[in-house]
Every structure is written in structure tokens, then in C-alpha cells.
Amino acid sequence: MRRTEIKLADGRELIYFDEHENADRSEPDRRDLPPPPPASQLRYDPLVDEWVAVAAHRQTRIFMPSTADCPLCASTATHFSEIPAHDYDVAVFENRFPSLSYREGEPAGELTPFTPTRPGVGRCEVVCFTSDHNASFASLSPERVRTVVDALADRTTALGQLPGVEQVFPFENRGVEIGVTLQHPHGQIYAYPFLPPRTRALLGAARRHAERTGGRNLYADVLAAERAAGDRVVVSNEHWTAYVPAAARWPFEVHVAPHRAVPDIPALNDAERAAFGPLYLDVLGRFDRLFDLPMPYIAAWQQAPVHEGRDVSHLHLQLFSIRRAADKLKYLAGSESAMGAFINDIRPEQAAERLRQAGR
């Protein structure tokens, strides 16, 4: 894989990840762009011990442009996009409308004695999986998935070395039902200056399990139990297993986990990276065949934090959809949105069986 860094017209960084060494990446960004927005503001919520980012500049971000105006397609003679090249394999660049950044923003302060504020330090990146606007992750080749995984490993390492970053979170939102604002196949990476609530919950449970069991890894034990039970396993290979969690929150939710306990994507070895693509593409194909419709989903890489809990963490990809039937969506209503208490309409064992039956 060839890695090439360039600067966009407003100073943001773009990195090409090419599968061929002879790719020409000398094309400059010919746009006249305003300076990037200032950093967001982080506000502490003392009632739940969480940080909330206020990024008002994101109200002006691009929303559902036409294919001809897509900012993630390769540039042409008549349309200059975020990608200056006329074709590309995988490209990663700083988000033009970031939730977190290192640019100057409001200084730290407090709204009340209980609500301190601080700049939204961090970084948000966009990961373009292909230059083909009409593709999807499920339509990628295993070789392209490998390039994406290697790019995510590269970015996880680089972002984890930035000052103040505590968590690196790669993810993909797919489908208008999820709320995507750009149709081009892409994902994102957030480098948080704090540990998000789910990471804190995962770490807390993992540490308590390790204390009770003399240092055993909780996720590894859960994965082994699911593989032994078998009734919620969807598909597996030598290095990975995809299964529906026994306490799945979403109608169709699958964890894709490596058999070896590793903290993050950079820790995957060559064989594990190569084996991920074929299995994950299989799972995504099953999702789309469930209702013979493109399945809206969120694919969230759960990685170890940068500075703590790496010894008890276990990398896994959490894939889930809000679609519960061909004509019905799962909405986060009172119990889920207000209390964080999920109610699932589909038994996980039934979901796993339907996904198994959706194989080719």
C-alpha cells in the first residue's frame, strides 16, 4: 500500500491510500475555500458525569447534494471536490465541519460552578472507501476492505499520538434512515479528548471481571461462550466470528470479533486483517438480503482507549440496524432515549437464525 499526504486549499490534511505504487497524487486542490471553523466547545454534564460537544458550525454542513455535486467523488474538470485526484482507492481527510479539532476556539471556563467548559480538542476525519459514488461497503472487494483496514490502522496509530486524545473511534453510518447527509460510501473517525460513555461502561465491566477471575478478559470469555453455544453465531472463519449478542439491543445486531484478544486495529496481524474482509462482506450481504432492501446500519469499531484499559479490552466491530421489518424501523422512544433502557422486539436467537438463512 502506498501512502501519500497532501494539503487541501484551506490547510486541512488529506491522505491517499493506494493499492498501486504508480498512482499520481500531484493534482492540487484548486478550490478557493474559507478557513476551517473554530473548535467546538465541550460542556460537562454533572448529572451524568459526561461531556457534550456543542458544535454550532455543523448546522451549515453539506446536506444531501446531487451526485454531480458530491464532495466525496473524485474531482473532474468541471467539479472540484474534497478529493483533488481524478480517481482514488481510499482517501482520508480532515472533516470540513468537525465536531472536534485543534483550531482555536473559546477558552476554558464555566457556565455554572457545576458546568465547566473547555475547547473541543480532537480530530474528525472522513474515510472514503472508493471513488465509485454508486458503490457500498458491501460491494467492495476483499482487497479493498484490506486497504480500508490498513488505513484505519494507520489513522488509529496517528490520532492516538495527538495531545489530549483518549479514544479513537472509526465508524460508518449507512442509509438515510440512519441520518447520513452524503450518499457516497464513506465512514468517519473521531479522536475524542475523553472516554465516551460506552467505552467507560465496557472498561468498568471488563475490570470487574478481571478482578473476579484473576485477570481473565471478559470479552474473550463471552466470545468463547457464544462460539461454544453456537445458536447465535452467524458465520465464522479461522480468525473471526460474527454473532448476535445474547442481550442485543437492536433488532439486528452483530458483533464481528477476532478470536485473538487484541486492543485495537493496529494490533491485528496480517492473517487477521486478510481474513476480516471476506467474513464482513458476507455479513453485510446477509443484512441486505434480509428484506431485499439496502439495510441501514451503523458499523462501530470498539477499540481500547489510548492510555488506559488496554490490558482488559478486546477489539470488536459492533454492526447494527434500526430496521426491524421491511416497512418498520426501531425508534429510540421514551425508554431508550430518556432512560437508556433498551427494549428489543426481536429475539436475538431468531435474528441470528434469519441472518444464517440469508446466506447465499
Contacts of 126 (CB under 8 A, 6+ apart): 72, 82, 92, 93, 94, 95, 186, 187, 188
Segment holding 198, helix H or strand E: helix 197-213
**124 labelled ligand-binding:** no
**128 labelled ligand-binding:** no
Strand segments (E) across the chain: 2-7, 13-18, 41-45, 50-54, 90-94, 109-112, 115-119, 123-128, 167-174, 186-192, 233-236, 240-243, 252-258, 297-302, 316-321, 323-325, 328-329
**CB count, 10 Å around CB of 199?**
21
Question: Is-catalytic flag, 186?
Answer: yes
**CB count, 10 Å around CB of 250?**
24
Q: What is the DSSP string of 284-351?
A: HHHHHHHTTSPPPEEEEEE---SSS-TTT---EEEEEESEEETTEE----IIIIIH-----SS-HHHH
Task: Give the residue among 102, 122, 105, 1 at the shortest CA–CA distance from 51.
Answer: 122
Q: Quick one: cell of 109? A: 471556563
Contacts of 91 (CB under 8 A, 6+ apart): 14, 15, 16, 17, 83, 85, 127, 128
Rounded to the nearest 10 degrees, what angle do helices 270-290 and 348-357 cross at? 90
β-strands 186-192, 123-128 pairing: antiparallel
Q: How far from the centroid of its chain's Cα atoms is residue 252's Cα?
A: 17
User: Does residue 203 contact residue 310 with C-beta atoms inside 8 Å?
Assistant: no
- Which residue in the block uniquely carries the three cell numbers 457534550? 52
Catalytic member of 186, 209, 255, 316? 186
- Which residue in the block uniquely carries the three cell numbers 426481536? 346
**Which residues are part of the catalytic machinery?**
186
Q: Which residues are annotated as a binding site for Zn(2+)?
A: 70, 73, 133, 184
Q: Which residues are annotated as a binding site?
A: 70, 73, 133, 184
